[in-house]
Amino acid sequence: MSSEGKSAPPSISTWRRLYWSIRRELWEHRSIYVAPLVVAMVALIGLVISTAGLPTSIRSMASMDVAQHSERLSMPYSVAALLLMATSVIVGCFYCLDALHGERRDRSILFWKSLPVSDATTVLAKASIPLVVLPLLTFAIATAVQIIMLIISTLVVLASGIAVTSLWSRLPLVDMPIGLIYFLIAMAFWYAPLYAWLLFVSAWAKRGTFVWAVIPPLAILTIQSTALQTTVFTDLAKSRLVGGFAQAFSAKAKDMATGEAARSGGVTPDPAKFLSSPELWIGLLVAALLIFAAIQLRRRREPI
C-alpha cells in the first residue's frame, strides 16, 4: 500500500492524555481510594454503636434551644466528614512523596517516557490527585456516609416510636454538603504549596524522600530560633498548616462543623475573605513554581 493511502494516526488531545494519566495514577495507587473507604467503614461502625442512645438524646432535647439541638445531632456527621478530610490530606502527602520517586525507583519511568505523554502532563496529572481527585472522592464518600448515617438514625428513631421529624427538622441537611464541598475546595487550595513541595522533593531526591521533605523546614526553624532570634518562619509554617480554617470561615477553626453554622450560629463559609487573602495567592504562586521545577527535574532525571 502506498504511503498516500495510509491514514494519519489519530491525534490525542492534551486533555485526553491528562485524563488517562490520572486514570493511571488511580490504577497504580489504590490507597487513594482504599484509605478513605476504610475510614468511612470505621465511621459507620462507630455510628451504629452510638445510635443506641439516640432516642434518649432526642427526648432529652426538650429543654435545649434549637442551636443546641442541631449541634448535638450534627456532631456524628461532622466527625465522620472531618475524619475523611484528615485522611484525604494524609493520603495526599504520602502520595506526593512517592509519586515521582517511585517511578524512578522501579525504573518504570523508562517505559512512561517512551509514551507520547509529556513531562508536564505527567506531573500535572500527579498534582491533580491531591488537588482535585482526592477532594472530589472525599466529598462523594463523605456524602454517602452521611446519607447512610441518616437512614440508620431514622430507622432507630422510628423503631423507638419517636416522630422522624424530631430528627430531620433539627439536622442541617442542606448546609452539610455545601459546607463540606466548600471546605474541601478551600483546603485543596490552601495546602497546594505543601503538596507541590512534596512533589518537588519526590522528583529530586534519590532516596529518603520523607527525610529530605522535613530536613529543610527543620533546619530553617533551628537557624531562626538560635541565630536569628525570630519566629517568622514558625508563624508562616503554623499559618500554612492550620491557618486555612480561619481564612476560609468567619469564626474560630475549633468551632467549625460542616454545615451547622446557619443553625448553631457558629462558623459560616466566607469565600470573599478566603479569596482576598494574600497568603492564599502567595501560596498558589509558590505551588506553581514548585510544580514547574518538578516538571524540569523529571525531564532530566534517570532511574535510580
- Does some domain include residue 64? yes
- Does some domain include residue 3? no
Instruction: Give the residue ranges of DSSP H helices in 160-228.
Output: 165-168, 175-190, 192-204, 209-223
- Does some domain include residue 35? yes
- Does some domain include residue 10? no
pLDDT in tens, 58-100: 666 655 555 566 677 778 888 888 999 999 999 999 999 999 9
Please state, in angstroms and rounded to a whole number, the distance separating the CA atoms of residues 278 and 159. 53
- Does some domain include residue 175? yes
- Does some domain include residue 6? no
Residue 251 pLDDT: 64
- Beta-bridged to residue 249, according to DSSP, are 269
C-alpha cell at 266: 457558629
C-alpha cell at 50: 452510638
With beta carbons less than 8 A apart as the criterion, state whether 248 and 186 touch.
yes
- Does some domain include residue 4? no
What's the structural domain count of the chain? 1
- Does some domain include residue 259? yes
What is residue 25's three-state secondary structure? helix
pLDDT in tens, 214-236: 988 888 888 877 776 777 778 78
Question: What is the residue-level pLDDT of the chain in tens, covering all 304 positions?
Answer: 444 555 555 677 888 888 889 999 999 899 999 999 999 999 888 877 877 766 666 666 655 555 566 677 778 888 888 999 999 999 999 999 999 998 888 888 888 888 888 899 999 999 999 999 999 999 999 999 988 888 888 887 777 777 777 777 777 778 888 889 999 999 999 999 999 999 999 999 888 899 999 988 888 888 877 776 777 778 788 888 888 888 888 864 444 444 444 334 457 888 899 999 999 999 999 999 999 999 999 988 777 6
Count of CB atoms situated within 10 Å of the CB of 239:
15
Residue 254 pLDDT: 45
Residue 70: which domain range?
16-300
With beta carbons less than 8 A apart as the criterion, state whether 69 and 61 touch.
yes
Which residues lie closer than 8 Å to 1 by C-beta, 6 or more apart?
none
- The closest of 78, 198, 181, 77 to 135, measured between CA atoms, is 181
- The closest of 195, 222, 225, 218 to 291, measured between CA atoms, is 195
